[in-house]
Amino acid sequence: MPNYKFAKVPSAGERIGYDGGVLRVPDNPIIPYVEGDGTGADIWRASVRVFDAAVEKAHGGQRRVHWMEVFAGEKAYKNVGDWLPQETVDAMQDFRVSIKGPLTTPVGGGIRSLNVTLRQVLDLYACIRPVRYFEGVGSPMREPQKLNIVVFRENTEDVYAGIEWKAGSDEAKKVRDFLVSNFGVEIREGSALGVKPMSEFGSKRLVEMAIRYALKHCLPSVTLMHKGNIMKFTEGAFRDWGYEVARTRFGESTVSETDLTKGGSNARADAVVVKDRIADSMFQQLLLRPDEYSVIATPNLNGDYVSDAAAAQVGGLGMAPGGNVGDGLAVFEATHGTAPKYANLDKINPGSVILSGVMMFEYMGWNEVSALIVRGIENAIRSRRVTYDLARQMPGSTEVSTSEFGNQVIKGMGS
C-alpha cells in the first residue's frame, strides 16, 4: 500500500485494479473521499450512511467499502497549508475510484479551480451528468418525466483549457500582433484573448465513451451537440470526428440519422442512432421534444451549460449527480457548490452526492447497490418528507433535515 503523510489508509480493504481495459473491483475496495467544504460535511455524513446501508442490504457481509478520507479545499488548507495536496491526487490515482463533495474555489489570488485542476491532472476526460426526473419533485415543466438524458461533456479542452490573456497585458498584445501580422485578422486593440483548443484525439475519445455507454445501456441515440455552423474548425470538427468514430469503430452497431432517414442503411435494427444538433437548437429541443434525446456528447463549454439547464428542468441542482471519468480512473462529485450559507445547519439536500454514489457503484459494477439507492430516493420523495429545496416546490410536503432525508432514503430501500 502506498504511504501518505496526512491521509490514513484503512488497515483492511484492497485497491481497485485495472487490467486490460477492465476495472477489477474486490469485495472490500478502499475508496478515497473528500468531504467537501461548506455544506460538504453535512452532506457526506448523510450520504455515507446511505452507501453503507445499501451495500449491506445488497450483499450482507460479503461486500464492504473501506472509506479513506483524503483532503482538499478549506480542510486541506487549514490542516496542511495546501488547497490540493499532491497526495490527494496520488490517492485518487492509486485507488482509481473516488468521490468528493463540493470545494470552494478561492476567488482571486491566482488559485485555479480545484475541480478543474483535478480533471486535468488526472486526465478525467469525460464529465458524465445523467439527468432524470424523480416522480413528485416540483419542476417548471409540464411533463418533466420525458427528460431522461446522460450528458458526456469533454472535460479537458475547449475554452476551459485555461489559455487566456488579460486585456492590455504584454502577452495579449504579442498574440494579437502575431495574429494580425501573420493572418491579417482584425482584432480590436487592447482585447483580452483566449484560445479554444479542440483536438481529434480529445473529441474522438469522448464520443467513443458516449457511444460505448449507449450500447452498454441499450439506449437509442447519441447526439453530437456543437456550434459548428459558426466555429467550423473546432466545433464543426468535433461533429465530423464524432461521426467518424461512430462509422469506423462502431459501424455495425450505430447508424447515422441521415442514413436512417434515407432508409439505405445496412445497420442492425437495434443500432444506436448517431445524430447532431446545433447547440442553441439543442436547448430548444430539450424543452420541446425531450424524449427524442438520450445520450448527448459535446465539447466542454456547451456541456457545462446544457447539463445545468437540463438539471433545472427536472427540479434543480440539489438532485444532479456527476462523474469525471478517464480510462480506469474516476472521481464522482456533487454538481452543486458548497452553498456556504447553509453550512453546518443540517439542512441542505444530500441528493446530488447520493446520486453520484449511484453512478460510482454502477461504474464499479455493483448495480444492485445502485438500484437499491435509487429505489430509496424514489420512496423518500414519495413519502414527501424532503429537504427544504424540494419541500418548497412540493406543496403539502414536510421539510426534513439532511440527516433525516438520509434516513428516509435508507428506509425507502425497503426491508
User: Is there a contact between 33 and 100 (Cβ–Cβ < 8 Å)?
Assistant: yes
Asked if 223 touches ligand NAP (CB under 6 A), the answer is: no
Which of these is catalytic: 100, 227, 275, 347? 227
Closest CA to 40 of 372, 281, 390, 352: 352
From 53-61, 100-108, 166-174, 361-369, give the range in contact with ligand NAP by CB under 6 A: 100-108
Q: Does 336 bind ligand NAP (CB under 6 A)?
A: yes
Whether residue 52 lies in the annotated active site: no
Minimal distance, residue 9 CB to ligand NAP, in Å:
25
Q: Which three cell numbers stand for residue 277?
A: 444538433
By beta-carbon proximity to ligand NAP, the closer residue of 9 and 317 is 317
CB neighbourhood size of 101 (10 A):
27
Q: Measured from the CB of residue 363, what is the shortest distance to ligand NAP in angstroms?
A: 18
1 three-class SS: coil
Q: Binding ligand NAP by CB under 6 A: which of 34, 72, 99, 339?
A: 339
Q: Is 40 in the site for ligand NAP (CB under 6 A)?
A: no
* Strands 221-226 and 295-298, sheet pairing: parallel
240 classed as catalytic: no
Decide if residue 105 touches ligand NAP (CB under 6 A). yes
Interacting residue with ligand NAP among 88, 98, 104, 313 (CB under 6 A): 104
Catalytic residue among 177, 280, 291, 327: 280
CA dihedral 86, 91, 94, 95 (to 10 degrees): -160
Which of residues 105 and 253 has its CB atom nearest to ligand NAP in the complex? Answer: 105
Dihedral of CA 259/260/262/267: which sign? Answer: positive
CB of 40 to ligand NAP, least distance (A): 9
Q: Which of 120, 338, 356, 397 binds ligand NAP (CB under 6 A)?
A: 338
CB of 64 to ligand NAP, least distance (A): 27
From residue 121, alpha-carbon distances to 77, 88, 94, 109, 156 in Å are 19, 12, 14, 20, 9
Nearest to 133 by CA among 282, 316, 373: 316
Q: How far apart are CA 317 and CA 4, in angstroms?
A: 34
Q: Is residue 318 a contact residue for ligand NAP (CB under 6 A)?
A: yes
DSSP label at 77? H
Q: Tell me the Cα Rg of the chain.
A: 22
Q: Binding of ligand NAP at residue 254 (CB under 6 A)?
A: no
Q: Which three cell numbers stand for residue 186?
A: 482584425
363 Cβ contact partners less than 8 Å away, ≥ 6 residues apart: 23, 97, 323, 325, 330, 332
Q: If binding is defined by CB under 6 A, does position 103 make contact with ligand NAP?
A: yes
From first CA to last CA, the distance across the chain in angstroms is 37
Take residue 258 and report the three cell numbers written for it. 441521415
Give, as ranges, the residues between 288 and 317 that touch ligand NAP (CB under 6 A): 317
331 is an interface residue for ligand NAP by CB under 6 A: no
Q: Which is nearer to ligand NAP, 29 or 406 (CB)?
A: 406
352 binds ligand NAP per the rule CB under 6 A = yes
Give the CB-nearest residue to ligand NAP.
337
Q: Is 29 in the site for ligand NAP (CB under 6 A)?
A: no
Catalytic residue among 42, 304, 346, 389: 304
CA distances from residue 255 to 189, 242, 244, 267, 293 in whole angstroms, order as listed: 48, 12, 11, 6, 15
Q: Based on the shown chain and the rule CB under 6 A, indicate whether residue 379 belongs to the binding site for ligand NAP.
A: no
Of 115, 120, 294, 307, the one binding ligand NAP by CB under 6 A: 115
Active site residue 280: yes
* 255: Cα separation from own chain's centroid: 27
Q: Is 389 in the site for ligand NAP (CB under 6 A)?
A: yes
Is residue 102 at the binding interface for ligand NAP, with CB under 6 A as the rule?
yes
Is 363 among the residues known to form the active site? no
Stretch that binds ligand NAP, among 11-19, 83-91, 102-110, 285-293 (CB under 6 A): 102-110
C-alpha cell at 333: 462529485
- Cell 450505430 belongs to residue: 254
Provide the annotated active-site residues.
160, 227, 280, 304
Q: Tell me which residues touch ligand NAP (CB under 6 A).
A: 102-105, 115, 317-318, 333, 336-339, 348-349, 352, 389
